[in-house]
Structure 1
């Protein structure tokens, strides 16, 4: 008998059908919501663009408007040192602008300029895709129209609000004006660096002729400047300008603006540049200080007056000191700051006209032995004193065996002499003992902002630093171990005197304890008085350190006197050797030549080098542990008992402790303040305990934790004060 087929569907199929219908319904709702949001967004955007277009000024008004800001810069005494402002050439109408200039700008800045409506959705999508693919921030995608809107109406702040207004204004401009008008406005108003606004001003500045006669190579150079005017300026860096211009030519060829043959025949490096006149070394300082206005000031385009810390007489002396002492073919840099961080003088090179690259603030160079400042700071903080005895002898750390500059060894000397004569082997031993990581941390603490290696050779200054950072570190030592924050702007006012910004002193921190600052000042003073820095003497107390890198590639001297700290570097930009260059010669002489004039009107200041050691580092008298000295009994090396006050009493003279097996970092007879060596199998004590660091920075110390963490010092480990015998208490 045949089974009758059920007319209804199974429960499973009904559930699937029901679930599928539910998903489809919600999908339709989401699509409708999305479409609704898009429609509302389009209406809002259209409304914003419409009202923006209605509020735009006329074409002639925009032609006559001026971008840029007049800035008058004054020295610390109120003398005007430079006036910066916009420079405009002749207005060129669209039919007067060479087609090659238009093609170059469109090719490199906005290749879809003639097809988009003010913003470039394809370019934006591509930028987003690249950022996701490379896991980086979305790159700038501003069209020529957006750049024009920003230049005329907005600031350069990188906020979402500013970008949104920029996009609205760009679409409004596209609604109001033709592509040719927009490009004409852009080419006459875009900033090309050096105060030059517009292609005619740029052409006259760089090539000494009107933009009407621009060649293909010249047009490529000008078009390449828009991305980074200061970096690609041909008067700042010819090689960078040529490289960027070749990128522009490649883009023009890629998009058909010029043929392959013409692109290959253009020689950008053959372009004749106009010599840059009327600039001097003060511009190194203004180039460093003025960009900080973007962070210090609210959005304003009105003329302003910037009051700085620069001392004109000091700047003149610094420029002359560098030029008079720098070796032939080399460059020099100098930074000088007051005890509060105020920059008094800054020289970034021997000639700003030839190259405005600021070696004082931007160049990264190895400091050589000047880096030993941080090695010895760490050693002093860990318990060493200038009078402690160390051994200048062969040493190997891992696979590294440092040698002294002269190749010889002095044997047992004190820490002060090791620093004064810049003994590499001693620095290596100290760095190894206190820990290379602690040396790196000390450098960070004193303001070194660049990457610091923790390899053993780092103690000899192999990590690259900036001149301004090294000067800042020595300035902190000069001020007793307190932090120093360099600054160059004291206040900013409007033309009528309204204060827009007033410098406030930075909060000061104790970087090291007073006794550490006193100890390192003692070492630095000795380095100038009798060591490698003797050429830096100026007839009053000077403390400082020389630095010379391998093959005489870099020479340094950094030091201070009477509250002024100055750092000098000399070397070649290509890091090739400079015959005869060393920190104790040309840099030290330049330091002395400058400082004689810089401190001439200041009172002579003696350095505070008195070591007032903390209680934990002082060794108590024997009575503290053993009672009255008259009750002492002595046993000589043969085991014979010596009566109290015996005639052959060896006297109250300390004797050296027994050497530890394998100990190379500390010699026998280490002076007061040196922690006792660890017993066999025990780890070396830390360079500085948590409690000590709290005391060093003025923090509170937990008494319970202090008692718990206090090192247990057995009586027999205290260094006795009598020689040729073992000090024992009398038996009862």
Structure 2
């Protein structure tokens, strides 16, 4: 029987003792894995959302571009954009007096312009024109710096191509839509045209103030020369206009135009285009020709007339009947009266017309004291009571009934219903001749002649036949000029008295037929001229007399001195004068034989 294995005692040391004998291990440093993992995750998410955001931003930008481009003008058709037809008015000698619409000069190729002109334009508007793709970030920063250091706007940030895009296709609206469309069109222009072609388009199409489009039109308007022959000084002024055509307009503000021209010369010097000596010499040569006197009232009146003879879509140059010398005399003499004795007399406004008695051609027209302050044409549009200046139509009606200047009419008080007309001086002369009654402007005689001649309707018919188109009152007060008429039509209606009896149509366009029409017998015209001559020789119009000249005419004054007139003739020329106030306020004792007759005299002396 085998011996059992001996029992070996188990060795199980105490835990505490084992722990004490364990080799000590140095404490470990904190692990960097969690921090690195967090940064990687942050970078991953940033890249991920950045990529997503860029996609959405790109899509948003694309949608915005498509949205703004939906109604973008077609560049190919806009290059031939329709402009307003121009109308140029000349006086009777051929000198330009006014322009309307879009004035365009001769289309020139780049090589045809004076070299200084494109050089000045590039220097001041887009120095890096030949080195960018249509948009110039460098130029934008440089312009900003120059303007800040100069303390004013000296240089722009838009490239020439951008300005072409805006000029040809867009408006001046400062909107995001317009700016986006401008960028798109700028890129289109750079793709389809050479730099030389873009510059050529700009020089021929840019707006330069006063209705002038293109450098050639502006050169002719402001300097009287073609863009082929402008000097360096003139080129600098023209190149400075696109930034602010109205503010730097030589005709409106020559001092601002001069300063702008000098700025351009300085920029050209900085760009190395010219030397300092050349800039200084050119600056001393900037001179603007005197601006032609613009007869605004006459020009606007003629421009309105021209609509009936012009083609709607064609440019036109029209010769007018205006005499520049007569116009200057009328303007200066009216101003002298209004700014002199008119001040004390409370005569705030006036109007003058000068026309040829034989044809009705208007030689001068002043519709107020200052066209810029008030372009309302009182010579044509105002309707005022003429007072005694209407009486010649009453006298003519009496002549046509068989009376003569030597026949008599009673000057005495009378009553018609509740109305009792009286003379200005409240004196009565009894029986007097028709000539003397007209010379002294006798009211009672005028009323009696109206009745004798057939009444108000007969006198109104006479006035209408001679050219008075306004509606007149149908009562005896018409004898004293209570109907309202215009200065131009009243003056023209006097023409038959001095041209043998022919009615004329007042007109301002030359070389267009304006036939005259016989309306009174020559012998009656002679009698009327004789009686109107007596008005000036010994009657109420003595202040209108001109030494050595035969002068005839009629005075007119309305109630409370609200209107004062003189219509007269000298050497075949009719001159009509009106003084008053727009608000119908009374003047201080102004009679037709006073300031208006004196103004007639001054004008007649000036145009003689």
TM-score of the superposition, structure 1-length normalised?
0.47
Find the counterpart in structure 2 of residue 160 from structure 1. none
Output the CA distance in 1 between the equivalents of 2:468 and 2:171.
55
Q: Per-residue deviation at 1:510?
A: 1.9
Instruction: Choose the corresponding residue for 1:449, options 469, 483, 507.
Output: 469
Provide structure 1 residue ranges, at least 5 long, that are not aligned to the other structure. Answer: 1-55, 103-192, 210-276, 492-502, 601-732
CA offsets 1:89-126 (integer angstroms, 9 cap, x no match)? 99489897368xx9xxxxxxxxxxxxxxxxxxxxxxxx
Q: Per-residue deviation at 1:385?
A: 1.0
Instruction: Choose the corresponding residue for 1:530, options 529, 535, 538.
Output: 538
Instruction: Choose the corresponding residue for 1:317, options 314, 329, 337.
Output: 329
Q: Per-residue deviation at 1:410?
A: 1.6
Find the counterpart in structure 1 of residue 576 from structure 2. 567
Alignment of 1:532-571 (within 5 A): 532-539=540-547, 540-571=549-580
Alignment of 1:390-539 (within 5 A): 390-434=409-453, 435-491=455-511, 503-506=512-515, 508-539=516-547
Contact 1:281–1:347 under 8 Å retained in 2 = no
Find the counterpart in structure 1 of residue 348 from structure 2. 330
Q: What secondary structure does 1:333 align onto?
A: strand
Contact 2:86–2:103 under 8 Å retained in 1 = no
Q: Per-residue deviation at 1:409?
A: 1.3
CA offsets 1:600-638 (integer angstroms, 9 cap, x no match)? 2xxxxxxxxxxxxxxxxxxxxxxxxxxxxxxxxxxxxxx
Output the CA distance in 2 between the equivalents of 1:587 and 1:345.
17
Whether 2:382 is the aligned partner of 1:363: answer yes
Contact 1:281–1:351 under 8 Å retained in 2 = no
Find the counterpart in structure 1 of residue 132 from structure 2. none
Q: Per-residue deviation at 1:299?
A: 3.5
CA offsets 1:449-472 (integer angstroms, 9 cap, x no match)? 111111111111111101110111
Q: Per-residue deviation at 1:60?
A: 5.7
Change (3 A) 1:60 1:411: same
CA offsets 1:39-89 (integer angstroms, 9 cap, x no match)? xxxxxxxxxxxxxxxxx9934643772522233221111222233343899
Output the CA distance in 2 between the equivalents of 1:321 and 1:438.
38
Contact 1:289–1:488 under 8 Å retained in 2 = yes
Find the counterpart in structure 1 of residue 604 from structure 2. 595
Q: Per-residue deviation at 1:382?
A: 0.7
Output the CA distance in 2 between the equivalents of 1:299 and 1:448.
31
Q: What secondary structure does 1:485 align onto?
A: coil
Contact 2:554–2:567 under 8 Å retained in 1 = yes
Whether 2:91 is the aligned partner of 1:75: answer yes
Find the counterpart in structure 1 of residue 406 from structure 2. 387
**Structure 1 moving runs of 4+ over 6 Å:** 87-90, 92-96
Output the CA distance in 2 between the equivalents of 1:94 and 1:306.
32
Q: What secondary structure does 1:296 align onto?
A: coil
Find the counterpart in structure 2 of residue 291 from structure 1. 304
CA offsets 1:451-497 (integer angstroms, 9 cap, x no match)? 11111111111111011101111112111111111121114xxxxxx
Change (3 A) 1:306 1:387: same
Alignment of 1:53-452 (within 5 A): 58-59=74-75, 61-62=77-78, 65-86=81-102, 91=166, 97=173, 282-302=295-315, 304-326=316-338, 327-328=342-343, 329-338=347-356, 339-434=358-453, 435-452=455-472
Q: What secondary structure does 2:462 align onto?
A: helix
Count of equivalent residues: 370
Q: What secondary structure does 2:469 align onto?
A: coil
Change (3 A) 1:354 1:60: farther
TM-score of the superposition, structure 2-length normalised?
0.56
Output the CA distance in 2 between the equivalents of 1:288 and 1:400.
40
Please identify the structure whose Cα radius of gyration is greater. Answer: 2
Q: What is the alpha-carbon root mean square deviation over aligned residues?
A: 3.2
Q: What secondary structure does 1:545 align onto?
A: strand
Output the CA distance in 2 between the equivalents of 1:297 and 1:94.
29
Q: Per-residue deviation at 1:365?
A: 0.8
Find the counterpart in structure 1 of residue 585 from structure 2. 576
Output the CA distance in 2 between the equivalents of 1:95 and 1:542.
58
Alignment of 1:653-668 (within 5 A): none
Q: Per-residue deviation at 1:514?
A: 2.0
Contact 1:281–1:319 under 8 Å retained in 2 = no
Output the CA distance in 2 between the equivalents of 1:76 and 1:522.
32
Provide structure 2 residue ranges, at least 5 long, that are not aligned to the other structure. Answer: 1-71, 105-162, 179-208, 214-240, 249-289
Q: What secondary structure does 1:72 align onto?
A: strand
Find the counterpart in structure 2 of residue 643 from structure 1. none
Contact 1:280–1:351 under 8 Å retained in 2 = no
Change (3 A) 1:64 1:393: same
Q: What secondary structure does 1:350 align onto?
A: coil
Output the CA distance in 2 between the equivalents of 1:413 and 1:82.
52
Change (3 A) 1:427 1:71: same
